[in-house]
Structure 1
Amino acid sequence: MKIAVLSSHTSSLFWFRMDMMKDFIKKGHTVIALGSEPESEWKKVFEEYNIDYRQVYVERNSMNPLKDLKTLRSLINFMKMERPDRVFTYQAKTVVYGSVAAKINGISEVYSLIAGLGSIFRGEGIKNKLVKAIMKFEYWTACKCSKKVFFQNNDDKNEFIRNGLITDEKTVIINGSGVDLEKFKPTQFPEKPSFLFIGRLIKDKGVMEYLKACKDIKENYPHVRFLLVGPFDSNPSALKPDELKPYIEDGFIEYYGEQSDVRPFISQSTSYILPSYHEGTPKTVLEAMAMGRSIITTDAPGCRETVVDGLNGYLVKIKDTKGLANKMEYLVANPEINKKMGQKSAEVAREKYDVKIVNQTIMQIMGI
């Protein structure tokens, strides 16, 4: 079969869906990957995995209807020309316009993934309510055009059902994107206690809470390391370079930018931190768990599923910088407890989040 995999963000397509696409190919199918970034930058990268990459016009953060119409038109043309047997979509713009474009071309085998609901879907304010109303209609349309819709946590699934966007029978829960247990394996702890955050530098990821907690702890425990890995972003809630600069210059954090391989940084840490406001299921948390690190994250949709509080880490309230710092400080003072939590994280990753099991579920549902 010919399978099209659509994403609004090419690098996300590469890092988060590659294991799935490789499994499609192992089954003997042809895969075409569609993303927003130039073919000149990505075509050869995907070709190394026998995947055909195509660029489509998508502006992730735009609310301009003319630009969205251009996205829909480009996807309609793709579906008409390629006639894929299966379509897998994820990320808001491509979920909506990809599924509609497929339906217009008579393609019924469309499968969408809702990998977390953004801040707009859960925010307040008049403008936010208007945008949310538009998004609800778009998601309702996408769900109508999809044969099945995958969710990574029950909070998001129930939110869709509660808002009348989908029926329960059409939903499938999967354990995140999964983690490659052959690639991410437990490593020895470093001598110094050290904390790590990996992710796009947007405020909804809780990066400001992380930075402030690092500053508070560093003043009392100067030997502790605080690592930050991830790119700046075009998202409206993105951290500006000038906001990060003081934390670097004052020695509170070590910033390493975007990295193609996060394993060396996880190995340098004794605990992984993600104070996010909402997620699908955070892949970086799963990777840190597989490498035997304790987790401190928020009691928020998508995050809370990864931690049994007090067993393999801790859950803190959203935007609770003090609570976050207290848990981090406790792990500094109790390294043996931290190691035991890390061991438990690795066990949970093996039992629940093996990417092979996740991909098998997806392929079974898609009839691949």
Structure 2
Amino acid sequence: MKFLMIASFLPSVLNFRGKLIEQIHAQGFEIHILAPDLELFENERQKLENLGYKLHKVSMQRTGTNPISDVKTLFEIYKLIQKIKPDYVLSYTIKPVIYGTLAAWLAKVPRRYALITGLGYAFQNVETNNKRSIFQKIVHGLYQQALSHSHKVFFQNPDDLKLFQDLKLIKTNIPAVVVNGSGVNVADFNVLSLPLALDQKIKISFLLIARLLVDKGVREYAEAAKIIKDKYPDVEFNLVGWIDENPSAITQQELDQWVAKKTVKYWGKLTDVRPAIAECSVYVLPSYREGTPRTVLEAMAMGRGIITTDAPGCRETVIDGDNGFLVEVKSVESLVEAMEKFIKQPELIEKMGKRSRNIALTKYDVHQVNKHMMQEMELI
């Protein structure tokens, strides 16, 4: 039996789906992975091939809406699927879900699944504004067509599922399942001691890990950092990430200014985020919307209290006042207020961190999440 995963970014296969395909492989399935730009990720490619998986390159632009290029992508995926002859296909992220699912249907793959990991700029302001741009209408129409040919669609939070249903992007006869994000391997993210200041008290140190996009709340984080540091100069603000090729990316000039003014300590892009999490006492993600934010789960597994937004995907990870605080989307004032609670009541840092670890263990363990998905795909 053959299982094919279609992705738009090879490193995410290892980082976000690695344990899932490992468990599927353990069931005796031959694993195939289809993704673009394999030559750019030699390290990840080698690791996946060493695990016995077969990789296939496809032309696919992660961003951009060139119809000729996208038709070429659809045709290439179709030809590769005909050659591989998989029994199961799972696609995730926008272009693999749309073109991968359509190609799998055209190639008559017996079992076709789609995973909606987040909505991105194709759904920006859709809930607050009844008007949709021409671009959004096209993308939503493509989603509707593709998902109508899937056997089951996985969502990472109930809000995304409801939005797809409200927009009629998923038909009532197509089963939809909400899973607890991508999960986190709690064995790899152990609880580490909180960082200490020179006086041996807990150091107040905030951290944000994200692609440096506007809708990740990076600007709100930097603004809050300026306000807090004016009142509490010893408080630290760390930032991990990179400027992505995305319409909503912040500018290099903005980042350079934050670093020059020592508003944030910039770590750059990390392949292993654990050292950065270990150096923080509170993790912050002011995102406008997520599937289920993996970085939050990793910080929770390492015993850190969380500040995140009361937004789809984010709100599922925090019980307000228990393992952290929920703040208003796009509100610097709300973010500052939550940060000050940790500064004024440092005992919350350890208390909420312990609760985070407990929630990670009981709700987000990657093995439980993957078992749920495999059962729903009838792989076990």
Compute the TM-score of the two structures, normalised by the length of structure 1.
0.96
Q: Distance in 2 between matches of 1:72 and 1:140?
A: 16
Q: Which residue of 2 aligns with 1:108?
A: 110
CA contact (8 A) 2:34 2:57 kept: yes
Q: Which residue of 1 aligns with 2:159?
A: 155
Q: Distance in 2 between matches of 1:122 and 1:250?
A: 31
Q: Could you list the runs of 4 or more consecutive aligned residues of structure 1 that deviate by over 3 angstroms after TM superposition?
A: 124-128
In the alignment, structure 1 residue 176 sits paired with structure 2 residue 176: no
Q: Which residue of 2 aligns with 1:97?
A: 99
Comparing 116-125 with 288-297, greater Cα deviation is found at: 116-125
Q: Distance in 1 between matches of 2:319 and 2:174?
A: 29
Q: Which residue of 2 aligns with 1:3?
A: 3
Q: Which residue of 2 aligns with 1:18?
A: 18
Residue in structure 2 matching 1:84, options 75, 83, 86: 86
Q: CA deviation at 1:335?
A: 1.2
3-state secondary structure, aligned to 1:142: helix
Structure 1 residues 40, 233: CA separation in 2 closer, same or farther (over 3 Å shift)?
closer
Structure-to-structure mapping, 1:196-235, within 5 angstroms: 196-235=207-246
Q: Which residue of 2 aligns with 1:363?
A: 374
Q: Distance in 1 between matches of 2:17 and 2:235?
A: 35
Structure-to-structure mapping, 1:136-285, within 5 angstroms: 136-166=140-170, 167=172, 170-191=175-196, 192-285=203-296
Q: Distance in 1 between matches of 2:370 and 2:121?
A: 28
Q: Distance in 1 between matches of 2:132 and 2:318?
A: 31
Write the letter of the residue equivalent to 2:164.
F
Structure 1 residues 359, 207: CA separation in 2 closer, same or farther (over 3 Å shift)?
same
Residue in structure 2 matching 1:296, options 284, 299, 307: 307
Q: CA deviation at 1:84?
A: 0.8
Write the letter of the residue equivalent to 2:37.
E
Compute the TM-score of the two structures, normalised by the length of structure 2.
0.93
Write the letter of the residue equivalent to 1:81.
K
Comparing 315-324 with 18-27, greater Cα deviation is found at: 18-27
Structure 1 residues 169, 105: CA separation in 2 closer, same or farther (over 3 Å shift)?
closer
CA contact (8 A) 1:6 1:33 kept: yes
Structure 1 residues 48, 219: CA separation in 2 closer, same or farther (over 3 Å shift)?
farther
Structure 1 residues 126, 73: CA separation in 2 closer, same or farther (over 3 Å shift)?
farther
RMSD: 1.6
Q: Which residue of 2 aligns with 1:344?
A: 355
Write the letter of the residue equivalent to 2:49.
E
CA contact (8 A) 1:108 1:145 kept: no
Q: Which residue of 2 aligns with 1:29?
A: 29
- In structure 2, the gaps of 5 or more residues are 197-202
Q: CA deviation at 1:154?
A: 0.6
Q: Distance in 2 between matches of 1:131 and 1:28?
A: 42
Deviation string, structure 1 residues 187-231 (Cα, Å, up to 9, x no partner)? 110012101101111111111111111111112212111111112
3-state secondary structure, aligned to 1:106: coil
CA contact (8 A) 1:13 1:35 kept: no
Q: Which residue of 1 aligns with 2:364?
A: 353
Q: Which residue of 1 aligns with 2:199?
A: none
Q: CA deviation at 1:345?
A: 0.6
Deviation string, structure 1 residues 49-73 (Cα, Å, up to 9, x no partner)? 3222222111122111111111101
Q: CA deviation at 1:40?
A: 5.7
- In structure 1, the gaps of 5 or more residues are none
3-state secondary structure, aligned to 2:41: helix
Matched positions, count: 368
Q: Distance in 2 between matches of 1:62 and 1:247?
A: 29
Q: CA deviation at 1:121?
A: 1.3
